[in-house]
Chain A
Amino acid sequence: MRDVLSAVIGKSVRQVARLRGGGSALPGLVIEKLDPGFLARVLGRLPYGVVAVSGTNGKTTTTKMIVEILESQGLRVFTNKTGSNFSRGVIAAAVQECSLAGRLDADIAVLELDEAHAIHFIARVKPRFTLLLNVLRDQLDRFGEIDATAKLLQRIAEATTDGLVVNREDPLLEQTGASQADRLEVRSFGLSSDLRAMFPSDDDFHRGAAAPDGPDEAARPEADVTLTRVGDHEATFRIDGVDHHTGLKLEGLYNTFNAAAALATVRLVLAGGVKQQSDALEVHATTGELLASLANVRPAFGRGEQLELDGHTLELVLVKNPAGFRLALASFPAAGVASMIAINDQYADGRDMSWLWDVDFGTLAETGVDTVSGTRAWDMALRLDHDDVNVGQVEEDPQRALAEFRRRTMGQPRRIYCTYTAMLALRKELATLTKVEEIW
Chain B
Amino acid sequence: MTLDERAAEMPGERELVIVSLYPRDMNIYGDRGNVLALTRRARAHGFFPLVVDVNPGDPLPSQVDIVVGGGGQDSGQGRVALDLVSKGEELRHLASDGVPMLMICGLYQLFGHRFVTHTGEELTGIGVLDVETRGGDTRMIGNIVVESDEFGEVIGYENHSGDTVLGPGSRPLGRVTRGAGNNPRDGVEGARSHNVIGSYLHGSLLPKNPAISDFLLATAARARYGGFEPQMIDDSTALRAREAAQRRPR
Contact = CB atoms under 8 A, between A and B. Distances in A.
Q: Do these two chains interact?
A: yes
Interface of A: 137, 140-141, 144-147, 203, 206-207, 345, 351-358, 375-379, 381-383, 385-386, 394, 396
B40 to A, nearest CB: 6
Given A147-B73, A353-B203, A385-B237, A206 B248 contact: no
A356 B208 CA distance: 13
Interface residues of B, number: 35
A351 B30 CA distance: 14
B73 A352 contact: no
B55 to A, nearest CB: 9
B37 to A, nearest CB: 7
A414 to B, nearest CB: 24
A51 B240 CA distance: 47
Nearest to B143: A351
Nearest to B55: A207
A354 B27 contact: no
B207 interface: yes
A206 B32 contact: yes
B159 A140 contact: yes
22 contacts: A137-B28, A140-B28, A140-B159, A141-B142, A144-B139, A145-B73, A146-B73, A147-B74, A206-B24, A345-B248, A351-B143, A352-B29, A352-B202, A354-B157, A354-B202, A356-B33, A357-B31, A375-B244, A376-B241, A378-B243, A386-B207, A394-B240
Contacts of B40: 386
Contact of B23 (A206, A353, A377, A379): A206
A357 B33 contact: yes
Determine chain A's interface SS by DSSP, over half rule.
helix
Interface in B28-53: 28-33, 36-37, 40
A385 B207 CA distance: 10
Contact of B142 (A146, A351, A353, A379): A351
Majority-rule SS of B interface residues: mixed
A379 B209 CA distance: 12
B237 A206 contact: no
A141 B159 contact: yes
Contacts of B74: 145, 147
Interface in B107-126: none
Given A140-B159, A206-B24, A357-B36, A382 B30 contact: no
B7 interface: no
Contacts of A145: 28, 73-74
A430 B27 CA distance: 38
Given A357-B32, A357-B36, A375-B248, A383 B24 contact: no
Contact of B141 (A141, A345, A358, A382): A141
B159 A382 contact: no
Given A145-B73, A375-B244, 18 more contacts: A137-B28, A141-B141, A141-B142, A146-B28, A147-B75, A351-B142, A354-B29, A355-B30, A357-B33, A357-B207, A358-B30, A377-B244, A378-B241, A378-B244, A381-B237, A382-B238, A386-B33, A396-B244
